[in-house]
Amino acid sequence: MRSNALNAAGVCLLAGLASLPFLVHPTKLVQAATTWVPAYAANGDMLPPSNYREWVYLTSGIDMSYSPKAEMAGQSVFDNVFVNPESYRSFLATGTWPDKTVMVLEVRGARSKGSINQRGHFQDVGVMGIEVHVKDEAHFPGKWAFFEFDSLVKNGALVPAGAPCYTCHSAHAAVDTTFVQFYPTLLPIAQAKKRLSEAYQKDEAEGSAEK
Ligand code: HEC
């Protein structure tokens, strides 16, 4: 449960951040829009990363089978993954993620009938859910944490340590608990810089042994 006072504080802070550069440095507005550092309310909730649609796009998955929600709803869904631009640039140089990395997974329904479309799927306008994976070494004992958002106007709730999110990501993700094996612009860099996790390499070795 969140108190109204906390929500009000979150909204005020964001409104302040958005309007300040415009008033003080009108020419820097475009640059300011891509920068976002993780920030939290007093109860531990995360403030929404409102401008993630201006970040770097990593991939879209459709009906990836790890999402039990999609199967239950009986509906096809896309997931789109974004990362903050500063961390993307750092990944290109190092093959792994720096502190303060924020990754957003956005879920949208898949539609097939609309306009001139005859076959295949396209993405619905409405967002069904937003999940965030954040690396904040000073803030979380496990370095990374997950948050779930209902919308971009409300703060997101921390997923408690020990939840399946953490188990699956640390057991199978290719780089630093993130699923770089599904992000086509990043996998070759992680490979070249030898940043692939032992867990992922083990999965791959077992997979190729079965073939
Ligand atoms: C069974 C495995 C599994 C579980 C459980 C799981 N995920 Fe993931 N997660 C994935 C895979 C696979 C991807 C890659 C998605 C893609 O390629 O589109 C992913 C990607 C993500 C991303 C994008 C950033 C990254 O780390 O690569 C976020 C954010 C995320 N998941 C949040 C969550 C949250 C929150 C939960 C728990 C509520 C969760 N995940 C549970 C497998 C899992």
**What pLDDT does residue 52 have?**
97
pTM, two decimals, is 0.84
Question: Which residue blocks in the chain are alpha helix, DSSP H?
Answer: 4-24, 29-34, 68-73, 85-94, 164-172, 187-192, 198-210
Q: How many Å lie between the centroid of ligand 1 and the Cα of residue 2? A: 25
Q: Is the pLDDT of residue 156 over 90?
A: yes
Q: Ligand 1, atom 22: nearest CA belongs to which residue?
A: 105
Topology given in CATH for the domain delimited by 4-202: Chalcone isomerase (3.50.70)
Q: Ligand 1, atom 6: nearest CA belongs to which residue?
A: 165
**What average pLDDT does range 4-19 have in this prediction?**
38
Beta bridge partners of 108: 78, 127
146-153: long-range contacts at Cβ-Cβ below 8 A with a sequence spacing of 24 or more? Answer: 147/45, 147/46, 149/46, 149/48, 151/48, 151/127, 152/48, 152/50, 153/11, 153/48
pLDDT in tens, 180-209: 999 999 999 999 999 999 999 999 999 865
Residue ranges covered by each domain of the chain:
4-202
Distance separating the N- and C-terminal Cα atoms of the chain:
49
**CB-based pocket (< 6 A), ligand 1:** 59, 61, 64, 66, 79, 81, 103, 105, 131-133, 146, 148, 159, 163-165, 168-169, 178-179, 182
